[in-house]
Structure 1
């Protein structure tokens, strides 16, 4: 009963119109025609006034919409005495809003599922030092502090980002990455908030507060996407004036040729604009939902329209076109310095850097058993390097030009193809070079090839890395235009000057945030938690795969195609029915009812945006040395990783 009451109060205009309609028909049956006509006229007139107020507000905000047709149709039906038809028009308009609401909730299912699953409760272990004790205190997820030890029971949602303390665990990360298969984690590995625990209770140590955790960042992105004003209203408005003009011309011609003003009302009843107002928004919401299900959070319908029209694409290199997991290949110590000492001090300084190479340096030092010391002072110059005071010594790690400015005896290293270098200065003297290799993502070449084949005319690389490394990676994946050794402002300037537009920029990490914000469409590889990049971007890829860029573009194009097709279906059917109505074959009441079927048809078509042709790049099962292999859509081969050598 309460559910029925909620439905009645959710759509008050529908409820009121149905009640008025029943009373009007009852009065007609009682042969109280005058009373029924006055009741219908007063009610519909009130709806007309309310609609006119809304139209005036729209005009004040610079929008001329399609409501004028509905108002003219209601006035015309009242003028010719078709008051039952006028009530049906009101019911049709309000019913169209209800259909849109239902279709929108259906289209936003994947988005709202993320919001509904937001973790609320955490089980904080009271005595974390006692591994045999599972005594817990329940706390709000927002109250969990960094360092708290939590118990996550079977099938529960991980409340905050943490490190696994139990020996092993299995987690469903499908809501985060789109990956349907559970993933296994071992002690010491990261566990993301929003993941669903498997069949065993596990312990984790919180490493971030709830507001800083991966899932809450995704929820914030989803909320922004839902609240953004999609271009679908503007899309419908593009057709408003011509459709209104055509409808009025047909209705006026029908009146003029027949001499019967009723014919004017009968035509306009079939010109009501519900298909244009409803179908396109539903299509765009469907596209947003489909993208979320694929592991891509798109921040609003405007981004979908831009993705559909993209003509140039720019890529960062490290962590975007490459895997972002650099491996130390060699330590080339300068004269007077020990290789292990150079690596130890560099790794100690790199604790304070967010650059992807820093992680590889720290990992290499840990693998060799080198002790990493804390700094008394530390600071980072974004994209240039990091400076730290370690054991009373000034250690600087960074780009060659930056190090050379501090240590004039710096010697540039000769690098093999695909290698990157971090230069080290200690106490103002050049101490050596750390050589790292970062393998190309196996899907990078296929993504670039797909974009070129599908209308993206220009593909470029924008990177802060050395020219030789950038050229090597670009040649391997088929990019011919490379801009290397760039600072963030230079990336922004180059992205702003790229033609043709719109320009898509793909990157990850803090240093990519400015150029992602400056591009027409910025896509962040957000699987590794690059918060600044995710905030600046228009779309965030939750799974660590560049192939999702292809998914985003393909979903954008399919969604825009569905939206336009739905609009044209509504226009075509409406005009065809209007032409039939000029002959007098469709009475006003029947026309109003038929228009409801037109609404339903266009909405059902618009829901096709929830599905579409396969967009993924198919990974071939054959592992070769760089050859591309045929697959079900676009196939690529996995290259053998470079071998790491001790330095």
Structure 2
């Protein structure tokens, strides 16, 4: 019920059109044709007025579209008494807008998720004491700490002796990367299980992850050549439709011909089909870790026959999995896996989690471990079952 109410609230014009169709149909079947005509016509004119105001505002901003044909067709069909034709156009028009709103909102969720992952706070060291500051206030040369599981906020140089980071969102490599003092760190990488210290070498707006986010946002707003072509020919197409409509009226001597030509020329479904397809495509790619530079690039994919990838990491799922166990003498594979997983369950390392997940999938028991000591880039030691 809540979902239905939300849909009605989100798409009032389409809901009103469907209600008008149901009520008008009922009145027609009951023999109240005049009431049906007046009711549907009044609703159609109301929609035309509301959309007309929005259309005028768009034209003032310099954005001319072919929506004007749909609005004119609604008015013309009402004037000649074809009220059901007017309602059909209204349903197509409002349905197209509802589809665009729904598809665009759904398609941009992935982009929004990407934007939400952008680091906002950095832990800056001041007199060796950490203080939280907005990422935009971080300056070159500042020393920062990054806690376990946090994103590196800006590009910099590692000052800690060693660190393990997940750079899959930047490079596609699913395996954690070990970095040592003096190595470069890129924003967007996820820190491992130990606190690291770094020195800033680039401001937030110039850092790697922020540039990727900006690229995706710019791509979502860009228009593909096909969309730009449709916008460019909107004005001549509209003028041509009016010319043919007037010619049909003059040639036949019937005003209904004017309305009929405009109804045929109204491209409501096509108005939103291409932009929605491009937004959905680029957002879906962003969710899968593929950055599309702009709409034109996405359009060219239809002509691609061969793709070259720079490394195997680009083609992985981003999550390592246990491939096999090779136990030495006096050890059974499952026994060894259970012992190792019992120790690794205390680690936040990506490989450790993969081992634990595989062990649980096989139904092997995990034992408590003691004396667990994890050393960055060197694994861990622990005592399990007195071993």
When the two structures are superposed, what TM-score results if normalisation uses the length of structure 2? 0.61
C-alpha distance in 1 between matches for 2:203 and 2:62? 43
Q: Please give the per-residue CA displacement for 1:412-458, whole angstroms capped at 9, x wherever unaligned.
A: xxxxxxxxxxxxxxxxxxxxxxxxxxxxxxxxxxxxxxxxxxxxxxx
Q: Please give the per-residue CA displacement for 1:620-641, whole angstroms capped at 9, x wherever unaligned.
A: 9xxxxxxxxxxxxxxxxxxxxx
Query: In the alignment, which residue of structure 2 is the partner of 1:219?
Result: 213
Query: In the alignment, which residue of structure 2 is the partner of 1:616?
Result: 308
- 1 or 2, which has the higher helix percentage? 2
Q: Secondary structure at the match of 1:185?
A: strand
Q: Please give the per-residue CA displacement for 1:231-255, whole angstroms capped at 9, x wherever unaligned.
A: 6553213443347736974997699
Cα gap change, 1:157 to 1:281, in 2 (>3 Å): same
Q: CA deviation at 1:97?
A: 1.9
Residues 41, 78 of structure 1: 8 Å contact kept: yes
Cα gap change, 1:212 to 1:617, in 2 (>3 Å): closer
C-alpha distance in 2 between matches for 1:256 and 1:180? 70
Residues 232, 281 of structure 1: 8 Å contact kept: no
Query: In the alignment, which residue of structure 2 is the partner of 1:150?
Result: 145
The within-5 A match list for 1:253-272 is 268-272=262-266
Cα gap change, 1:94 to 1:180, in 2 (>3 Å): farther
Residues 165, 178 of structure 2: 8 Å contact kept: yes
C-alpha distance in 2 between matches for 1:614 and 1:167? 43
Q: Secondary structure at the match of 2:308?
A: coil
Cα gap change, 1:556 to 1:77, in 2 (>3 Å): closer
> Are 1:204 and 2:197 an aligned pair?
yes
Residues 118, 216 of structure 1: 8 Å contact kept: yes
C-alpha distance in 2 between matches for 1:3 and 1:188? 54
Query: In the alignment, which residue of structure 1 is the partner of 2:231?
Result: 237
C-alpha distance in 1 between matches for 2:10 and 2:181? 50
C-alpha distance in 1 between matches for 2:274 and 2:153? 37
1:195 alignment partner, one of 186, 189, 196: 189
> Are 1:99 and 2:94 an aligned pair?
no
Cα gap change, 1:143 to 1:246, in 2 (>3 Å): closer
Q: CA deviation at 1:617?
A: 5.4
Q: Secondary structure at the match of 1:81?
A: coil
The within-5 A match list for 1:432-511 is none
> Are 1:557 and 2:249 an aligned pair?
no
Residues 248, 268 of structure 1: 8 Å contact kept: no
When the two structures are superposed, what TM-score results if normalisation uses the length of structure 1? 0.39
Query: In the alignment, which residue of structure 2 is the partner of 1:50?
Result: 50
> Are 1:279 and 2:273 an aligned pair?
yes
Unaligned runs of 5+ in 1: 130-135, 305-551, 562-611, 621-647
C-alpha distance in 1 between matches for 2:64 and 2:184? 52
Q: CA deviation at 1:48?
A: 2.1
> Are 1:164 and 2:145 an aligned pair?
no
C-alpha distance in 2 between matches for 1:142 and 1:242? 48
Query: In the alignment, which residue of structure 2 is the partner of 1:11?
Result: 11
Q: Secondary structure at the match of 2:145?
A: strand
C-alpha distance in 2 between matches for 1:19 and 1:39? 11
Query: In the alignment, which residue of structure 2 is the partner of 1:606?
Result: none
Residues 119, 158 of structure 1: 8 Å contact kept: yes
Q: How many residues align?
A: 308
Cα gap change, 1:268 to 1:60, in 2 (>3 Å): same
Q: CA deviation at 1:273?
A: 1.1
Q: Please give the per-residue CA displacement for 1:243-281, whole angstroms capped at 9, x wherever unaligned.
A: 773697499769978x98767756654432124322232
RMSD between aligned residues: 4.4
C-alpha distance in 1 between matches for 2:176 and 2:81? 65
C-alpha distance in 1 between matches for 2:101 and 2:310? 36
Q: Secondary structure at the match of 1:118?
A: coil
Unaligned runs of 5+ in 2: 313-387
